[in-house]
Structure 1
């Protein structure tokens, strides 16, 4: 008999927009925390910044923030700051942060990624333009329309 699946430790930042979790993926310095901060300013809730435990629960991707970084976000040029957070969320989509030179697709084809054995929609986005948080919110609203 096997016990519960051990969670995967993933390098990502997550926020909740309503009840939908958004996973922000990219290397260090890609803008994960910056975009999360702007989404939080628009009403999202921090789940975890930088590292998360991810596991499949009933076919869905759940992430949990490790206790040692719960409620903390790194704000460049300011430091590590405490923010209200929720400890876990079910992820609805992932955003791969890309540079200006990589660019965004004008009309992207649907893509997916697999994390902890769960397939989720994947979008590519340049994180620094003023419109980036609005684009994330539009992707979440489109996801809700499909369900």
Structure 2
């Protein structure tokens, strides 16, 4: 299954943990991914993500034609060193409306329930919040 999304991953406790950034075109997926790369994340896929499930876990990778590429608005398509694939442990819908104290929520993807935390991608702390969300919600799953 291929979805319109961006996948970034962070190495936590010796394992790569992925955050699937979702939203419509122009929502800030690539922008947040670019800033997350500067904070120690790795890019798995930008714009399109190939998903599959195995043993109750969801994984993602870039389609071969997009591997190692990220769109940098205003500069065009740029090359980065990609991570081949990652387990997706967190779903991150991008929005400009964020609850101060959100309830625990999940999203079902390929019959697997994933924790979800919406983020506003353009706030300066968004990459740090993404890291915190992975550390607190995604690392143990």
Scaled to the shorter chain, the TM-score interval is over 0.9
Q: Which runs of 4+ in 1 moved over 4 A?
A: 144-147
Q: Does residue 110 of the first structure (1) align with residue 111 of the second (2)?
A: no
Could you say which residue in structure 2 is the equivalent of 1:76?
73
TM-score by length of 2: 0.93
1:124 to 103, 114, 118: 118
The alpha carbon displacement at 1:118 in A equals: 1.5
The alpha carbon displacement at 1:107 in A equals: 0.4
Q: Does residue 88 of the first structure (1) align with residue 74 of the second (2)?
A: no
Alignment of 1:7-46 (within 5 A): 8-18=1-11, 19-46=16-43
Where structure 2 has 5 or more consecutive residues not aligned to the other structure, the ranges are none
TM-score by length of 1: 0.89
Where structure 1 has 5 or more consecutive residues not aligned to the other structure, the ranges are 1-7
Q: Does the 8 A contact of 2:10 with 2:40 survive in 1?
A: yes
Count of aligned pairs between the two proteins: 137
Point out the structure with max Rg over C-alpha: 1
1:66 to 58, 63, 66: 63
